[in-house]
Structure 1
Amino acid sequence: MGLAHARPDLVFAVRRCCMDGFCTLICPDGIEARPVFAALRELLALAGVTGIDGFTMTQVDREWHIFSAYRAVHGIYYTDLPLLENASEWGADTLFFPGCSLASYAPELTRAVFAWLREQGMEVALSVDCCGSPLRSGGFADRCEAFKHRLAERAVSAGIKRVVLVCPGCRDEWETAEGAEGLELIALPELLAAAGAKPLPEKLRALAGNEAPVVTFFDSCHDRDGRFGGPLRRIFDDGACVECAHHGANAVCCGAAGAVSLVDQGICDRRARRALDEEPRAAGAELVVANCPTCAYTFAAARRADAASGEGAAGPAFCQYLELLFEPGFDWPGVFGRLESMWSGEYGPWLAQELL
Structure 2
Amino acid sequence: MEQYQFEDALTGTTVTCGFPQLEAVVTPGSDEPRRCTSLFFPGCSFINYGLPLVQAVYSTLADAGRVDGISLLCCGKILSYEPDGDTVRASFEDQLRDGLVAAQVERVVAACPNCVMALRAALAADERTAPIEVVALPTVLADLGYRIDDEAARGMVAREAALDPADVKVCVHDSCPDRDTGEFADGLRALLPDGLMVETDHIRKRSYCCGSLLRAAGKPFVADAMAQRHGEEAQAVEASAIVTACMSCSFQLTVSQSTVPVFHYLELLYDWRINWEGADLYMKLRFLFDDALGAVEGTGGSRAFAALDALTAGEDS
Q: TM-score, normalised by structure 1?
A: 0.65
- CA shift in 2, pair 1:332/1:84, >3 Å: farther
Aligned counterparts of 2:283 and 2:238: Cα–Cα separation in 1: 34
Displacement of 1:339: 7.1
Letter in 2 for 1:268: A
Instruction: Give, as a single letter, the amino acid of the residue that structure 1 aligns with 2:254.
Output: A
Q: Tell me if 1:169 matches 2:123.
A: no
**In structure 2, what is the Cα distance between the partners aligned to 1:319 and 1:86?**
40
Distance 1:87 1:271, change over 3 A: farther
1:167-206 superposed Cα distances (whole Å, 9 cap, x missing partner): 1111110111033312111101111111221113334412
Q: Determine whether 1:74 maps to 2:74.
A: no
State how 1:1-356 maps to structure 2 within 5 Å.
74-76=22-24, 88-89=33-34, 91-138=35-82, 140-177=85-122, 178-179=125-126, 180-200=129-149, 201-209=151-159, 210-211=164-165, 213-224=168-179, 225-259=181-215, 262=218, 264-275=219-230, 277-303=231-257, 313=258, 315-336=259-280
The unaligned stretches of length 5 or more in structure 2 are 1-15, 285-300, 306-317
Deviation by residue 1:132-172 (Cα, 9 ceiling, x = unmatched) = 11122346223223212311220121121100011111111
Q: What count of residue pairs does the alignment treat as equivalent? A: 262
How far off is 1:335 after superposition? 2.4
Decide whether aligned partners of structure 1 residues 86 and 184 sit closer, same or farther in structure 2, where only a CA change above 3 A counts: farther
Following superposition, the deviation at residue 122 of structure 1 comes to 3.0
Q: Which runs of 5+ in 1 are unaligned?
A: 1-67, 304-312, 341-351
1:126: Cα distance to partner?
1.3
Q: CA deviation at 1:332?
A: 1.9
Q: Tell me the percent identity.
A: 28
Q: Is the 8 A contact 1:84 1:126 kept in 2?
A: no
How much does 1:87 deviate?
A: 9.2
CA contact under 8 A between 2:49 and 2:247: conserved in structure 1? no
CA distance in structure 2 between the partners assigned to 1:84 and 1:94 by the alignment: 20
CA contact (8 A) 1:208 1:317 kept: no
Distance (whole Å) between structure 2 residues aligned to residue 84 and residue 162 of structure 1: 23
Amino acid at match of 1:323: E
**The residue matched to 2:108 in structure 1 has which SS?**
strand
Structure 1 residues 236 and 271: CA distance shift in structure 2, 3 A:
same
Q: CA deviation at 1:208?
A: 3.4
| Change in CA separation of 1:354 and 1:99 when aligned onto 2, cut-off 3 Å | closer
Q: Secondary structure at the match of 1:186?
A: strand
Deviation, structure 1 residue 319: 0.8
RMSD: 3.3
Cα distance in 2 for residues equivalent to 1:183 and 1:216: 33
Mapped contact 2:153–2:271 kept (Cα < 8 A): yes
Bigger strand fraction: 2
* 8 Å Cα contact 1:289/1:318 also seen in 2: yes
Larger radius of gyration: 1
CA contact (8 A) 2:111 2:136 kept: yes
Q: Structure 1 pair 259/316, CA: closer, same or farther in 2 (3 Å)?
A: closer
* Higher RCO (CA < 8 A, seq sep 6+): 2
CA contact (8 A) 2:17 2:25 kept: no
* Residues 84 and 331 of structure 1: CA distance in aligned 2, closer, same or farther (over 3 Å): farther
SS in 1 for 2:130: coil
**C-alpha distance in 2, partners of 1:188/1:235?**
11
- Deviation larger for 198-207 or 240-249: 198-207
Q: 1:69 to 1:140 in 2, by over 3 A?
A: farther
Whole-angstrom CA distance in 2 between matches of 1:354 and 1:186: 28
Distance 1:217 1:190 in 2: 16
After TM superposition, give the deviation of residue 88 of structure 1 in Å.
Answer: 4.5
Number of the residue aligned with 1:47:
none
Question: Which stretch has the larger CA shift, 239-248 or 222-231?
Answer: 239-248
Q: Post-superposition shift, 1:125?
A: 1.2
CA–CA separation in structure 1 for the residues paired with 2:198 and 2:233: 11
Give the drift of 1:73: 6.3
Whether the 8 Å contact between 2:79 and 2:88 is mirrored in structure 1 is yes
- The separation in 2 between residues aligned to 1:76 and 1:203, in whole angstroms, is 32
